[in-house]
Amino acid sequence: MQAQVSRTIRLTLPPVRWNRTGWRTVRLPTYFLLGLVLLELGTRAVGGRFERYAPDDYAERVAGCVAVRPNLLVVGGSPVAEGIDPAHLKGLTRNGTPLDSVYALGLSGATSTDVYHAVLRAAPMPPKLIVYGLTATDWNDARNEPHGTYSLMTGDDVVTCRSIRPDAAGWVTRHYLEGRLARVSAVFRLRNGIRLWAAVQADAIWPGCAPEALREAREQSAYGDALRAGVGYAPAAWFVHRRYDRAKAAGDPGPPFGFLDKYRTGSHLKYVDKLVAWGKAHQTEVILLDMPVTADLEARYASAFADYRSRLAAVEASGVPVIRATREAVGLGDEDFADVVHLNGGGAAKLSAWLRARLAGDRP
């Protein structure tokens, strides 16, 4: 009997007596937690000034798109963010309908899964036309974008995603929870903005004390302003002015590219079907735009592009319109790219003008 009793796990609350000794035990942690709460409240109250230096580009672009309420929405990953200038598309008439407001919702790193959820969040008023600019990277199931999971998805979206894409169920759940957890604290979420804001303040008092942080603060601030004020085209100076042909000749082809490694398709692709279905349900025409990439990238990942193009052909055969913006069709060379996959300023202007002509001339 005695042995049985000793094996019973007993859970008890610690015997804290609320006398002076009990209070002394917990008072420092209590004041510590109180201090954290005060800091949290203070940060939330003035969070805007920190957010200016650390814009969440997914959230800013979605908010910008909601504000513009475009009737032409160009959506996609970073090739769209850097390669489509909505200014060239504004005012085009398609099938007799003028598309006078345009927004480019280019989300760096986004896959088709992220693009679908971005459209859900950014288009409460469904546009007349959605052009989804995509390339092989959008359908690579070996990669997922954590930013999209916690920035664009709701709890319901996660549940749906788990059933549609069982291969990514664990990953999506973990990153969604991690992202939500990280956003519980404004101090933690805005830590980079606070650091850059402090660098600006410190520089005002002591010029030159943190030059790198100050430069970063200015860049981030300008980027944030461009995202909020514009129509989604806010390329970094690096992309606008860099020329892939010259960089390649100088032996600097750009940062390493691993977005097509371990290429396999099928899972993200299901969200293209969902996007098309969403378009039909909302009387929104959905067109897929096969974005141009450099010949070097296509050669390096020949089998990945072959797989992607056969999938794209199958989607087209199912009745989804596809525009193929090949380098030859648009008239692009290495001089129009910033790196292997992104267009530079000149290339973006060429592609956007070409796309305007195609959209204006196309018939469903």
| 288 contacts 312 by C-beta, under 8 angstroms | yes
- For residue 157, the minimal CB distance to another protein (Å) is 24
- For residue 217, the minimal CB distance to another protein (Å) is 13
Build a one-symbol-per-residue string for 210-249: x at contacts with another protein by CB under 8 A, - elsewhere: x---------------------------------------
Residue type, 81: A
* Count of residues that interact with another protein, criterion CB under 8 A: 32
Would you say 45 or 317 has its CB closer to another protein? 45
Q: Is the dihedral of CA 153, 154, 157, 158 positive or negative?
A: positive
Tokens 């514009």: give the residue: 230
* Residue 24 binds another protein (CB under 8 A): yes
Build a one-symbol-per-residue string for 161-190: x at contacts with another protein by CB under 8 A, - elsewhere: --------------------------xx--
E strand or H helix that includes residue 130: strand 129-134
**Residues of 101-115 as b/e, b for ≥16 C-beta within 10 angstroms?**
bbbbbbbbbbbbbbb
E strand or H helix that includes residue 329: helix 327-330
Options 35-43, 97-105, 123-131, 261-269: segment touching another protein (CB under 8 A): 35-43
Taking the C-alpha atoms of residue 348 and residue 350, their distance in angstroms, rounded to an integer, is 5
- Taking CB under 8 A as the criterion, the residue among 4, 18, 19, 29 binding another protein is 29
| 112 contacts 272 by C-beta, under 8 angstroms | yes
Q: Cα–chain-centroid distance for residue 144? A: 11
Would you say 34 or 306 has its CB closer to another protein? 34
Build a one-symbol-per-residue string for 38-57: x at contacts with another protein by CB under 8 A, - elsewhere: xx------------------
- Taking CB under 8 A as the criterion, the residue among 2, 10, 124, 317 binding another protein is 10
| 316 contacts 276 by C-beta, under 8 angstroms | no
Site residues (CB under 8 A) for another protein? 6, 9-14, 21, 24-36, 38-39, 187-188, 191-192, 194-195, 198, 209-210
